[in-house]
């Protein structure tokens, strides 16, 4: 029942398990960081989570940067509201919401065919090297006021892993290889949860895929 993604560097279908936020961003582009980064964590459809954590391509994480602007135009406003309207209900660890329809075509990067990809690790312990990263380089926008809300989350501290050396990792920028994602997802139970604890402790949330595809 989970919505799935595939295409581009993904050789399998991957089902959405959870999404969370980092502020500041964990990735940078040419050394430049963004105020926020949203991670859509997916697990290879043919694997259980425990198996996926031991496979080189067990997880696929779609990453969308958020940039901050003093004022948003109408389209940017609509896109950011897609997620920001829920944040006041999620300020403390354990807060949950359900029955939420998220329009992914607004929440994902405006240019779905423009991204960097590499094989890397989770950014929280145990930092398993099991992730196909897809980093969209065109950000979505939130306002100053919306960004300030994130300072009220949990104990208000930043929650990003510091930049790592690139080591053996090769980063690719495929030309025009679209990622296929659902147009919208319906969160029928549990959550949309903020990353205030390590990945493995984050409660999985149940989502239901809608049939329509972009």
Q: Which is nearer to Zn ion, 69 or 154 (CB)?
A: 154
Angle at CA 188, nearest 5°, toward 184 and 194?
Answer: 80
CB hemisphere CA count around 151 (13 angstroms): 6
Q: Could you tell me whether strands 28-29 and 32-33 are parallel, antiparallel, or unpaired per DSSP bridges?
A: antiparallel
Q: Tell me which DSSP letter residue 204 carries.
A: P
Smallest distance, Zn ion to C-beta of residue 16, A: 14
Would you state the structure tokens that stand for residue 68, as one six-digit string?
A: 């901050």
CA-nearest of 192, 189, 211 to 202 is: 192
Structure tokens at 113: 């065919």
- In the complex, the smallest distance separating the C-beta of residue 38 from Zn ion, rounded to whole angstroms, is 8
Cβ atoms within 10 Å, residue 68? 17
Nearer Cβ to Zn ion (39/95): 39
Q: Closest separation between CB of residue 20 and Zn ion, Å?
A: 6
| Terminal Cα-to-Cα distance of the chain (whole angstroms) | 18
Residue numbers of the site for Zn ion (CB under 5 A)?
A: 39
Residue sitting closest to Zn ion (CB):
39
In the complex, minimum distance from the CB of residue 22 to Zn ion, in angstroms, rounded to a whole number = 5
Residue-wise burial string across 30-45, b where 16 or more C-beta atoms lie within 10 A, e elsewhere: eeeebbbbbbbbbbbe
**Shortest separation between residue 77's beta carbon and Zn ion, angstroms:** 25
Q: How many CB atoms lie within 10 A of CB 50?
A: 8
Q: Which residue has the tokens 């969370």?
A: 20
Cβ–Cβ under 8 Å, residues 195 and 21: yes
Q: How far is the CB of 128 from Zn ion (least distance, A)?
A: 13
């Amino acid at each position: 029942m989970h919505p799935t993604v595939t295409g581009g560097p993904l050789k399998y279908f991957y089902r959405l398990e959870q999404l969370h936020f980092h502020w500041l961003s964990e990735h940078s582009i040419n050394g430049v960081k963004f105020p926020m980064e949203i991670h859509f964590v997916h697990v290879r459809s043919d694997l259980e989570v425990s198996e996926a954590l031991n496979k080189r391509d067990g997880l696929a994480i779609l990453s969308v940067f958020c940039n901050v602007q003093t004022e948003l135009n109408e389209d940017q406003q609509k896109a950011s509201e897609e997620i920001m309207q829920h944040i006041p209900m999620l300020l403390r660890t354990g807060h949950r919401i359900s029955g939420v329809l998220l329009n992914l075509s607004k929440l994902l990067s405006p240019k779905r065919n423009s991204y960097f990809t590499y094989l890397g690790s989770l950014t929280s312990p145990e930092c398993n090297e099991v992730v196909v990263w897809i980093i969209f380089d065109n950000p979505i926008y939130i306002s100053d006021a919306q960004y300030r809300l994130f300072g009220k989350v949990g104990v208000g501290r930043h929650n990003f892993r510091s930049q790592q050396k690139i080591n053996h990792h090769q980063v690719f920028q495929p030309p025009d290889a679209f990622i296929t994602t659902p147009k919208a997802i319906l969160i029928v139970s549990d959550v949309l949860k903020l990353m205030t604890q390590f990945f493995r402790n984050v409660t999985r949330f149940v989502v239901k895929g809608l049939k329509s595809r972009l």
